[in-house]
């Protein structure tokens, strides 16, 4: 079994056992409700494609679609399962699903990406919709791709259904604040955790693995809202850049810069990508891909607090190892829930015909995440659980 699926299932199993569930009940939670396995064609080539609908217990299936060469059915199952736990952990009226296409988007031109996106939505049209399953962006997908998908979907069903996809562009019915939401949410959860430990006044240092949409907006939020958190290192899939007196990422409207193009890093000698794990910083934020901290990299971790901003970035073996070393892990199902929370707000705006200001969206996002973080911390302290165990147990109780 894929390591991420194993990690997700083992974590659920452990939480369910603590809650006294029997094997039959655990199996029912792990089982997916439906799977769609198909192929999509673009530029004359066919690519394997999936949509896994894990649970609709709390509402329509909800979760992104990723385009990546390492996508597999088991990975999509793991991600769909995590979405069910995530929406429950932060109390949204939504279930869990996920989609993926096995494709290296760098090998496709603009027209082929459009063709692929439209083919994906066309195939899934009978199985999705604002009351059934609501896809959104994930790794390597964005508002442009979602716009193509909803257009194709609405053409298939012959009517408008603006809440059928979230993460749309603003002009197509998307929400203010959605693009920044996952990164922003991660900063809010971290800030709330530090406040609960009464160390939000001390300056702390932060190393950031991953500088895509999520990592970039996390860094921007630190810059604007958390002056006591100093970014001292950034990595991407190729390199790590360390600047102990702080990295100023600057303002960039309409695009996400590559770290190598940041003026503040021009004089910094790049290190190998994996060097990020050993950077001397108080906090390590994992905003790249799953299984980043594993049996090979877990020994290198220098930080005391890790934030799971990607989905499943720490394997179970590494999690046990790090907890044994008294490290704190802010779990993905809460730390990166900002994206799906603002997706939910987008869906609510679409179904009610309202349009909210960025301030209103950000304030709702803040309230939902602060509440979920406080509940997780309280449960963990009262019941002597790690934060991840606490978040999973709280989520499972809401899936009854
Ligand atoms: N892809 C994001 C996630 O993993 C967002 C999903 C959504 O907005 O539905 O949480």
> Do 179 and 124 have their domain in common?
no
Task: Report, as an integer, the average pLDDT of 209-226.
Answer: 97
Q: Report the distance separating Cα 288 and Cα 276, nearest Å.
A: 12
> Do 99 and 121 have their domain in common?
yes
What percentage of the chain reaches a pLDDT higher than 90?
A: 98
219 φψ region: left (φ > 0), alpha (ψ -120 to 50), beta (else): alpha
Catalytic residue among 18, 46, 62, 98, which? Answer: 98
Which of 153, 172, 191 terminates a domain? The answer is 172
Instruction: Locate the ligand 1 atom nearest the alpha carbon of residue 344 and give its number.
Output: 8
Note whether residue 29 is domain-resident.
no
pLDDT band at 202 (very low <50, low <70, confident <90, very high): confident
What percentage of the chain reaches a pLDDT higher than 70?
A: 100
Instruction: Locate the ligand 1 atom nearest the alpha carbon of residue 79 and give its number.
Output: 4
Instruction: Locate the ligand 1 atom nearest the alpha carbon of residue 311 and give its number.
Output: 4
| Token output for 344 | 């939910």
> Do 154 and 185 have their domain in common?
no
Binding pocket residue ranges, ligand 1, CB within 6 Å? 62-64, 136, 138, 166, 311, 336, 339-340, 343
Task: Report, as an integer, the average pLDDT of 107-121.
Answer: 98
Q: How far is the CA of 65 from the centre of ligand 1 (A)?
A: 8
Note whether residue 19 is domain-resident.
no
Whose Cα sits closest to atom 8 in ligand 1? 340
> Do 121 and 39 have their domain in common?
yes
Q: Give the pLDDT of residue 201.
A: 81
> Do 108 and 51 have their domain in common?
yes
Q: What tens digit of pLDDT does each residue of 29-56 get? A: 999 999 999 999 999 999 999 999 999 9
Which of 137, 172, 207 terminates a domain? The answer is 172
List of residues 6+ apart from 311 with CB closer than 8 A: 79, 82, 290, 332, 336
Note whether residue 18 is domain-resident.
no
Q: How far is the CA of 267 from the centre of ligand 1 (A)?
A: 36
Instruction: Specify the DSSP element, H or E, that contains 382.
Output: helix 358-383
> Do 131 and 155 have their domain in common?
yes
Note whether residue 21 is domain-resident.
no
Does residue 226 surpass a pLDDT of 90? yes
> Do 130 and 184 have their domain in common?
no
- Has 201 been annotated as catalytic? no
> Do 154 and 182 have their domain in common?
no
> Do 288 and 399 have their domain in common?
yes
pLDDT band at 237 (very low <50, low <70, confident <90, very high): very high
Q: How far is the CA of 63 from the centre of ligand 1 (A)?
A: 5
| Residue 140 near residue 105, CB atoms below 8 Å | yes
Q: What burial letters (b/e) apply to 249-281, b meaning 16+ CB within 10 Å?
A: beeeeeeeeebeebebbeebebbeeebbbbbeb
Whose Cα sits closest to atom 9 in ligand 1? 63
The Cα-based distances of 203 to 23, 195, 212 in angstroms read 47, 13, 25
> Do 115 and 201 have their domain in common?
no
| Residue whose token pair is 């059928």 | 164
Q: Give the pLDDT of residue 200.
A: 81
Domain of residue 383, CATH code: 3.40.50.720
Q: How many domains does the chain have?
A: 2
Probe residue for ligand 1, chosen from 54, 64, 368 as the CB with the greatest number of ligand atoms within 8 Å: 64
| Token output for 268 | 């910094």
Probe residue for ligand 1, chosen from 60, 128, 137, 140 as the CB with the greatest number of ligand atoms within 8 Å: 137
pLDDT band at 90 (very low <50, low <70, confident <90, very high): very high
List of residues 6+ apart from 192 with CB closer than 8 A: 369, 370, 373, 374
Note whether residue 80 is domain-resident.
yes
> Do 193 and 301 have their domain in common?
yes
| Token output for 147 | 């716009």
Does residue 153 surpass a pLDDT of 90? yes
| Residue of 132, 111, 116, 152 lying closest to 38 (CA atoms) | 116
Task: Report, as an integer, the average pLDDT of 371-391.
Answer: 98
Does residue 214 surpass a pLDDT of 90? yes
Q: What tens digit of pLDDT does each residue of 299-345 get? A: 999 999 999 999 999 999 999 999 999 999 999 999 999 999 999 99
Instruction: Locate the ligand 1 atom nearest the alpha carbon of residue 342 and give its number.
Output: 8
Note whether residue 42 is domain-resident.
yes
Note whether residue 274 is domain-resident.
yes
| Residue 12 near residue 30, CB atoms below 8 Å | yes
User: What average pLDDT does the chain have?
Assistant: 97
Cα–Cα–Cα angle for 224, 234, 327, rounded to 5 degrees: 90
pTM for this one?
A: 0.98
Q: Give the pLDDT of residue 1.
A: 81
Which of 136, 156, 172 terminates a domain? The answer is 172
Instruction: Locate the ligand 1 atom nearest the alpha carbon of residue 337 and give its number.
Output: 10
Whose Cα sits closest to atom 10 in ligand 1? 340
Note whether residue 105 is domain-resident.
yes
Q: How far is the CA of 270 from the centre of ligand 1 (A)?
A: 31
Task: Report, as an integer, the average pLDDT of 133-149.
Answer: 97
Domain of residue 81, CATH code: 3.40.50.10860
Q: How far is the CA of 177 from the centre of ligand 1 (A)?
A: 14
Q: How far is the CA of 232 from the centre of ligand 1 (A)?
A: 28
203 φψ region: left (φ > 0), alpha (ψ -120 to 50), beta (else): beta
Expressed as residue numbers, the domain containing 141 is 35-172
Q: How far is the CA of 83 from the centre of ligand 1 (A)?
A: 7
| Token output for 238 | 């190729």
> Do 143 and 234 have their domain in common?
no
Does residue 199 surpass a pLDDT of 90? no
Instruction: Locate the ligand 1 atom nearest the alpha carbon of residue 336 and give its number.
Output: 10
Give how far the C-alpha of residue 291 lies from the chain's centroid of Cα atoms, to the nearest Å.
14
């Amino acid at each position: 079994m894929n390591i991420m699926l194993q990690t997700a299932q083992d974590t659920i199993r452990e939480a369910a056992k603590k809650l006294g569930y029997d094997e039959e009940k655990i199996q029912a939670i792990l089982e997916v409700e439906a799977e769609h396995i198909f192929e999509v064609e673009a530029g004359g080539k066919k690519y394997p494609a999936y949509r896994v609908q894990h649970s609709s217990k709390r509402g329509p299936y909800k979760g992104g679609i990723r385009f990546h060469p390492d996508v597999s059915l088991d990975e999509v199952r793991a991600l769909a399962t995590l979405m069910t736990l995530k929406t429950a952990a932060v109390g949204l009226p939504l279930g869990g699903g996920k989609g993926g296409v096995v494709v290296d988007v760098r090998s496709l031109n603009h027209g082929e990406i459009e063709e692929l996106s439209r083919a994906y939505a066309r195939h899934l049209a009978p199985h999705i919709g604002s009351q059934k399953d609501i896809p959104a962006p994930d790794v390597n997908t964005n508002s442009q791709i979602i716009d193509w998908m909803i257009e194709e979907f609405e053409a298939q069903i012959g009517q408008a259904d603006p809440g059928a996809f979230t993460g749309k562009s603003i002009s197509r019915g998307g929400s203010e604040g959605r693009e920044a939401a996952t990164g922003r949410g991660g900063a809010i959860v971290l800030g709330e955790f530090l406040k609960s430990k009464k160390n939000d006044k001390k300056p702390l240092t932060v190393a950031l693995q991953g500088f895509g949409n999520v990592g970039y907006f996390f860094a921007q939020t630190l810059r604007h809202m958390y002056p006591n958190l100093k970014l001292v290192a950034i990595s991407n899939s190729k390199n790590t850049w360390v600047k102990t007196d702080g990295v100023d990422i600057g303002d960039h409207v309409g695009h996400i810069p590559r770290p190598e193009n940041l003026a503040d890093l021009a004089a910094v000698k790049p290190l190998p990508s994996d060097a990020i794990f050993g950077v001397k910083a108080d906090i390590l934020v994992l905003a790249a891909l799953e299984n980043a901290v594993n049996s090979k990299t877990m020994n290198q971790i220098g930080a005391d607090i890790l934030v799971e901003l990607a989905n499943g970035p720490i394997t179970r073996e590494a999690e046990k190892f790090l907890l044994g070393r008294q490290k704190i892990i802010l779990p993905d199902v809460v730390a990166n829930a900002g994206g799906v929370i603002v997706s939910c707000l987008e869906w609510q705006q679409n179904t009610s015909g309202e349009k909210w200001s960025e301030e209103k969206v950000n304030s709702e996002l803040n309230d939902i995440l602060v509440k979920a973080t406080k509940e997780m911390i309280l449960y963990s302290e009262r019941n002597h659980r790690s934060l991840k165990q606490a978040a999973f147990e709280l989520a499972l109780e809401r899936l009854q």
